[in-house]
């Protein structure tokens, strides 16, 4: 019997989930063709936010790779938008002329972002937040521009704002409402969220209406103007004000559409050969935008496409479980309350916890949770089942675990205990409808040991990821051990199964001295690696084999290859090194001569006590560095994952409060550490007295001079997340300062993960570990310091002579600008 032909228009999560369900029950019933207007296979749209934030790659969020389609005999057409449905002759046609006939047609065209109809909405730099192309646009903009405005204080808007902040932009969130996430949170919970996000550096403009997006001189958006007359600078504007069902194709085919493609309880449209699922659908007057209802629709639709004819979709009672920039949120039902309702509230701002339960007629009518959301699934069950809570109302706020306890209310309980006390029917993954019992049974029966294995077999935690912590806790409890102490293995990237630490150990233990040897020995899954693993491998090899390994310029970022910081207009800035901030009249004249010769449009004294030359053309960089080298300058490495600056104050030589020669010591530290490749940028400072004018206590390595000698501080950060240093120790002499600095720096170089600053590294390994290696064990300290010095200077030379003769040795020699 010939197979029927099924065509799916829309390669997103709802449509492909329908095919997955169909292939389970009727794998040989259809020849399947899929059209997607994006050039990618099916991916998890919910995880675009981590991609924007740099936490995941596009490859990591792909749900079904091209091999999945091929393995099931599915003809996949990516990058082709279907523009015509011929219902009479039963075929669809794409914008490139590709046709496919059908016996059954499934529409899963999703939704499109709503763009405010204001002047300037069509300017360059204005983008929605809906697909990979939008994310790519934002990532490119974040590398060139400074100011971003996100219009919309809903979930997508906050995730976009967080991602752009992570990318280094200054971000303002504009919201028309009185508080953020007003559809998911009440005002007290939203205020807690706003305070948390403001502490991370985001700015909020509430109760603002956009009047116009202002055009700049370049033709790109430059500002947002509001109806109250105020403006906000904007090099990038992200519209996150809502979505609209994408019904244009269905309407052109004459299908009934009313704020979505109208379907019945079997997901059929007005034409019985055509089905529809997902955000494009209007079912009983409701269009759903959450994953769980869409997957319920997919299961019913697949049931009817398989001609079983028993599935009915009656709509979904929805709850919202979110993770906004690492903060857990949950809401369901009538959480705002109102006439005829009662509220039970727990609030602990210091702990970042908030719970609000709304009761009506002794039944739970709504819930809003901030911070502690473990009992959200249970509260949702109570609402869905209409359970009378009279008998345990006094303990309701404290969760399922406390129902039946002898104490009146008790404490909040720890998460693991409460999770294990849940019945097997408790829903853990709302997106995919996976219960606790299903997860535990799969772990036991299939002998699963990793989160990825649980995801693959149950789909729990595979969609939005908000239940990941619960799944991991169940996994640890089922296979044995305490998850809080269980090792967490996170590979370097998708090219390998090995972690940063495993790779570094293998390089040293197996004597791997080239990138190719390392990839071969460790079973790399891609022949040439990717833009995440190649820079890391290049650094690890450089650190492990100084003087032997040859630096691979093409595995470096453009800034490091060009020896200049790329700016938003595509030009570069050049920073000659000025040791300790000191300079001579001859050096100033040399910089001025170079600026004149190359027509540098702007010069600035930086916060690191150097002179920055802005607006340099890329083609001028080699000649400019040649002139600067001839004048005795080496690079300030403002672009590198390297030692950047040693900031100093004038110290005892000039200042009446100074206790030691901070400037002279700063010069010695800079001479010691310049030319050092690091896992990330590395900054030092020396303050001449406890007044700390050089801000030594927010640097990677800081020295505060005191009457008795020197306080040494480590692990500071003055960036987005300010971290005050930890006190490493006190020493009496400059020689000790240099030794301890070299030892600490080398320990960081040898143990930190690539792109890990000293602040998170110290927090990860612990201050006690650093002190044990650098302070308490003299042999270890001296060995580390010696390894650092040997790795820095292939030949013993006088650093001052090196500078005056213009020699560029060490790991950076000679400066050659590459493409």
**What DSSP string runs through 643-664?**
EEEEEE--GGGT-TT--S-HHH
d(CA 165, CA 174): 15
689 is in an annotated binding site: yes
d(CA 776, CA 769): 10
Phi, psi angle pair for 556, to nearest 5°: -105, 160
Apex 311 CA angle, 428 and 438, nearest 5: 25
Tokens of 168: 């280094």
CATH for 559-640 is: 3.90.480.10
Fold topology of 4-111+245-305: FAD/NAD(P)-binding domain (3.50.50)
Phi-psi region of 442 (alpha: psi -120 to 50; beta: other; left: phi over 0): alpha
Q: Please, where in the chain does CATH 3.50.50.60 lie?
A: 4-111+245-305, 126-241
Phi-psi region of 243 (alpha: psi -120 to 50; beta: other; left: phi over 0): beta
Tokens of 226: 């509001």
CATH for 126-241 is: 3.50.50.60
| Residue 806 pLDDT | 33
| Residue 819 pLDDT | 41
Tokens of 809: 């040795």
693 is in an annotated binding site: yes
d(CA 497, CA 506): 13
Q: Widest CA span of the chain, in angstroms?
A: 97
Sheet arrangement for strand 565-566: 565-566, 572-574, 611-616, 602-605
Answer yes or no: are the C-beta atoms of 670 and 633 closer than 8 Å.
no
Fold topology of 643-802: Sulfite Reductase Hemoprotein; domain 1 (3.30.413)
Phi, psi angle pair for 720, to nearest 5°: -60, -45
| Residue 77 pLDDT | 97
d(CA 95, CA 510): 54
Mean pLDDT in the chain? 86
| Residue 755 pLDDT | 86
The interaxial angle of helices 734-751 and 758-765, nearest 10 deg, is 80
Distances (CA, A) of 103 to 30, 35, 90, 261: 9, 16, 7, 19
Q: Please, where in the chain does CATH 3.90.480.10 lie?
A: 559-640
Residues of the chain with pLDDT under 70: 1, 319-326, 401-418, 447, 449-450, 463-466, 469, 476, 479-490, 719-721, 792-819
Short-list 398, 336, 288, CA closest to 181: 336
Q: Find where tokens 């300017």 sit.
A: 123
741 is in an annotated binding site: no
493 is in an annotated binding site: no
| Residue 415 pLDDT | 58
Apex 384 CA angle, 286 and 304, nearest 5: 55
| Residue 483 pLDDT | 32
Say if residue 357 is preceded by a cis peptide, omega within 30 of 0.
Answer: no
Say how many residues make up the chain.
819
| Residue 449 pLDDT | 64
Short-list 345, 336, 330, 293, CA closest to 314: 293
Q: Please, where in the chain does CATH 3.30.413.10 lie?
A: 643-802
């Amino acid at each position: 019997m010939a197979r029927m032909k099924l065509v799916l228009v829309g390669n997103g999560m709802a449509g492909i989930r329908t095919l997955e369900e169909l292939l389970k029950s009727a794998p040989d019933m259809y020849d399947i063709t899929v059209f997607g207007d994006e050039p990618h296979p099916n991916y998890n749209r919910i995880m675009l936010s981590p991609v924007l934030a740099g936490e995941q790659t596009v490859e990591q969020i792909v749900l079904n790779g091209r091999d999945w389609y091929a393995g099931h005999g599915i003809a996949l057409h990516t990058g082709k938008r279907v523009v015509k449905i011929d219902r009479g002759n039963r075929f669809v046609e794409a914008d490139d002329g590709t046709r496919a006939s059908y016996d059954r047609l499934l529409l899963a065209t999703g939704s499109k972002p709503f763009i405010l109809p204001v002047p300037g909405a069509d300017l360059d730099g204005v983008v929605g937040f809906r697909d990979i192309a939008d994310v790519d646009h934002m990532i490119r903009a974040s590398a060139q521009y400074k100011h971003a405005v996100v219009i919309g204080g809903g979930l997508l808007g906050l995730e976009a704002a967080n991602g752009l902040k992570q990318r280094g932009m200054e971000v303002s969130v504009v919201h028309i409402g009185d508080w953020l996430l007003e559809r998911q949170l009440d005002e007290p919970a939203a205020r807690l969220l706003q305070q948390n996000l403001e502490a991370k550096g985001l700015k909020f403009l509430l109760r603002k209406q956009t009047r116009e997006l202002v055009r700049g001189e370049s033709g790109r958006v430059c500002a947002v103007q509001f109806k109250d007359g105020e403006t906000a600078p904007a090099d990038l504007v992200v519209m996150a004000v809502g979505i609209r069902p994408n019904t244009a194709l269905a309407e052109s085919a004459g299908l009934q559409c009313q704020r979505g493609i109208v379907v019945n309880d079997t997901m059929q449209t007005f034409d019985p050969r055509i089905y529809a699922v997902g955000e494009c659908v209007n079912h009983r007057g409701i269009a759903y935008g959450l994953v769980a209802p869409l997957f319920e629709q997919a299961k019913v639709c697949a049931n009817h496409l398989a001609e079983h004819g028993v599935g009915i979709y009656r709509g979904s009672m929805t709850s919202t479980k979110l993770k906004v920039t690492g903060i857990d949120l949950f809401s369901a039902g009538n959480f705002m309350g109102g006439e005829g309702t009662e509220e039970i509230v727990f609030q602990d701002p210091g702990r970042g916890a908030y719970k609000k339960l709304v009761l009506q007629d002794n039944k739970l009518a709504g819930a809003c949770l901030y911070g502690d959301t473990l009992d959200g699934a249970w509260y949702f069950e109570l609402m869905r089942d209409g359970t009378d809570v009279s008998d345990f109302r006094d303990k309701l706020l404290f969760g399922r675990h406390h129902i039946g306890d002898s104490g009146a209310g008790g404490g909040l309980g720890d998460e693991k205990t409460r999770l294990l006390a849940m019945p097997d029917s408790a829903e853990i993954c709302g997106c995919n409808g996976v219960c606790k019992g299903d997860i535990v049974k799969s772990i036991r029966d299939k002998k699963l040991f990793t989160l990825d294995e649980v995801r693959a077999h149950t789909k729990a935690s595979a969609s939005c990821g908000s239940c990941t912590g619960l799944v991991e806790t169940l996994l640890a409890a089922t296979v044995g051990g305490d998850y809080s102490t269980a090792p967490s293995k996170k590979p370097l990237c998708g090219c390998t199964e090995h972690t940063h630490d495993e790779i570094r150990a293998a390089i040293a233990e197996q004597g791997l001295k080239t990138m190719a040897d390392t990839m071969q020995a460790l079973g790399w899954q891609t022949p040439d690696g990717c833009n995440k693993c190649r820079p890391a491998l290049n650094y690890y090899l450089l650190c492990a084999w100084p003087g032997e390994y040859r630096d691979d310029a093409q595995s470096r970022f453009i800034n490091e290859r060009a020896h200049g910081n790329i700016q938003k207009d595509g030009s570069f800035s050049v920073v000659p090194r000025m040791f300790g901030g000191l300079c001579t009249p001859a050096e100033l004249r040399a910089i001025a001569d170079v600026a004149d010769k190359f027509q540098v449009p702007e010069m600035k004294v930086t916060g690191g006590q150097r002179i920055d030359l802005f607006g340099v053309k890329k083609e001028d960089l080699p000649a400019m560095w040649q002139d600067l080298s001839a004048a005795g300058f080496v690079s300030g490495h403002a672009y590198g994952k390297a030692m950047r600056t040693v900031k100093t104050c004038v110290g005892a030589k000039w200042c009446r409060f100074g206790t030691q020669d901070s400037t002279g010591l700063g010069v010695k530290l800079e001479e010691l550490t310049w030319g050092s490749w690091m896992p990330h940028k590395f900054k030092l400072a020396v303050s001449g007295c406890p007044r700390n004018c050089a801000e030594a206590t927010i640097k990677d390595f800081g020295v505060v001079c005191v009457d008795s000698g020197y306080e040494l501080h480590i692990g500071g950060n003055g960036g987005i997340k300010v971290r005050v240093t930890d006190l490493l120790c006190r020493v009496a002499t400059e020689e000790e300062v240099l030794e301890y600095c070299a030892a600490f720096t080398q320990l960081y170089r040898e143990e930190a993960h690539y792109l890990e600053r000293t602040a998170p590294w110290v927090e990860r390994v612990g201050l006690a570990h650093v002190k044990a290696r650098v302070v308490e064990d003299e042999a270890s300290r001296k060995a580390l310091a010696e390894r650092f010095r040997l790795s820095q200077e292939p030949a013993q030379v006088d650093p001052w002579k090196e500078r005056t003769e213009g020699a560029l040795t060490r790991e950076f020699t000679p400066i050659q600008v590459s493409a």
